[in-house]
Amino acid sequence: MIAVVDIAGKQVKIQENTVVKVPFLGKNEGEPVTFDRVLYASDEKEIKIGTPVLEGASVEATVIKNGREKKVIVFKKIPRKNHDKKNGHRQQFTEIKIDKIAL
């Protein structure tokens, strides 16, 4: 079964028993997480599309780990003014394992 779920403002395509990297959820490792905003679900027999979400559908997952992405460098320079600014940013993420998609 395949589903599209709204997780922390991002639409993520998921399948059962897969590991997905999503925006940081603030949960500890090993904690269960439930997502109720299922936008789309399909299996071999039928396709269900929500308006905007499917009523009664949910996705159960388990947090595997929390981490930080690779550093992104932001460099700003104003020519001929001897002004430059260099910043780095590491975005946090959560890795989850999809346990069950329930319609």
Please write the tens of the pLDDT for every residue from 1-35: 999 999 999 999 999 999 999 999 999 999 999 99
What local confidence, expressed as pLDDT, does residue 38 receive?
A: 97
The DSSP output letter for 17 is T
**What is the gyration radius of the CA atoms in the chain, in angstroms?**
19
> Per the structure block, which two tokens stand in for 84?
């430059």
> What pTM was computed for the model?
0.85
Spatial separation of the C-alpha atoms in residues 6 and 13, rounded to whole Å: 9
Model confidence at 36, pLDDT cuts 50, 70, 90, reads very high
Spatial separation of the C-alpha atoms in residues 81 and 68, rounded to whole Å: 35
Contact between 74 and 3 under an 8 Å Cβ cutoff? The reply is no
